[in-house]
A and B are shown apart, each in its own frame.
Chain A
């Protein structure tokens, strides 16, 4: 062994170690994509690994060729072929989420056909199509990214203060550049609610500003809002994107109330100030924000929430991403007072599914089938409830995609999602 190392030279040894490291990362990624775990590292890895698989594919292939060169076919034929097989196996398994993109597109088409009829694509006028992505997926965008779209942005507008909790909540607003008459968005309003397990997260950097800009450039007025979070003492890695001013001892009730306050201010002040169309409003959010999206959107016209929200806003669509549907655990974590046994109505009304009725607007769901944090059964349950009462619901399932797998918006998951999101928004306005 020493002889081989000595022969290779120190540079080659370092190169071999780096290549072995690439293999280890590749194997870790394969494990996370196909098996996963419940520990903290696995949960974070679940966000990224399926999204970066195609990059690991090429890194591992390059590492394989380096190792093959270092080994030499003549010198060590068995090791040579072993490296070749292992390397290509790791690379191949990492590429599967990308290779399954046609399945994501096919799933989405089936959902849209069921929700909007077989000819839904032909209902989009020709003069609108140039504003949309021409195809659900393209390779250069996947690897090279796309520039952020141009729009107007006003940041950090204060909308709520709670002196007792020393909490102040702000929003950012993304608007189309003038003139915007011909844009498909027609200044429809999108209220975006960030994720973070109700204890962390933020607007802007924590809520995909690139998508906000994209939608604003299409003529939508996007309000990216903060809401009060529950103070759990330690936020771990999420502390990086969680500002101090949003942390208090808040429950789901407070969070929904704060969103309600925002809708009232939207009606009374912000709609006029930012020229937002209140006849066409969407609620959109991921993960914890997906839960709040569902409670707000489906509960908007429920008697239980009378007085909570503005009465002069017309909700045209509900867009939860990887939303948890069961909240029976919320009592134990202090996010709701009591328990499902002591206050069944409260737990029922703050669950994403209980408020779904035939009067609700269409719903578009993003869900990765490899999500280890919010299982795919959650979105299936929401979809099932919608179907039962006749509410249009398109559940876009992305094979092997993990939690928050749309976060890299130019990857295969993000591209397909954006393609159908912009069409959903237009079709339901």
Chain B
């Protein structure tokens, strides 16, 4: 080989290798240390200072195991997979999307640096993404086929019959690093780590979620057990377990007025007359002991009244009907994983609880009690329900100060079915004792807030899920006068219109007759 040819060859090599070198791991390290290390750790092992305040935990990059990929089970992710997770984040976890923060180049540098934490990327080279076919349409028959497969390949064992993460294996699930991991609630697709669309679900079924108990089902296609089309039907069925859109959060819960009596049973068809209002809940991280791993992430609320009684139907997803000894091991794992640990003994069998909070009187000005169980100047009135003691009224002037109220007219009926609690509260609008108890009135917005505890998750006391203040509005019967003013307005407008036309035409006629 001549010298010129050698130089040319070398230059060509350099030119080919340049795109790879353009990924600047040094710049990636700077960005990583500044923005990522506090959760994922400076060494990439997922043990940053904030890691103990999260469940699921931040990813450990040293293992090379990644949940959200387009590659086969056990394979490394592609660069595009890592870019996608960094830019879009992981719904249902503490990982945000960084698209608004980092440029494309910065994300590429970060990917290069993150891959450096594991030797596997260098050892095995660039992985090949799987071929994903096109999504066939899914009609009712396809969804039925998807349901049949859901039963046949035993998705329900972890995810439960209705997909609420309440299958018999759910309390036994740990990831590869022995951290407890929840079977996804398939009826809340906005929390799916890899995205909630049918194609996202299909990909998770094909690739599995490495490092978690979620396997890949690609081998079922390879072995001829099911077709690719059937896999799409299964994905479409799983998607159908969630509502079409993520529920919108609204400030005011409308309690519709019904004729006759309000329903007392959870399954009464009268409830279908009103839409459910979604109230998101998050961990109580304000007063000690704080709680960073709440089991309940939202409530669905329906309200009705009949002019004498208010009925409130609260539904929430909870995979365990606590107290349930089957979940004791889980409770222990959570206690070892999350900081600060639960105050309750990890072996204590705790009930599930729900509290609906109101002020003790309808506020006249802008002032409301502190949303977290009130304060000494403005106490709150509570509807308490627990799975072991039923419903009671109580009173509080700050977290940890609750005192039960004797007597009272609150009643409640509760049932747990397929991973969801439904509690129906009923109380007369008028209070027996107005000093401690709220009297409800229609036609005004009344502050309302909610707190929930999942006993099998080790929650008790201040360690709970909370909401801030919302309002409940008891609708008034529509007064007849409402129809009077529109009719009057129409008559006046029409009369004026006719008058204007009549005058213009008369003037026109007069004008022409004068000519």
- Asked if A and B are interacting partners, one says no
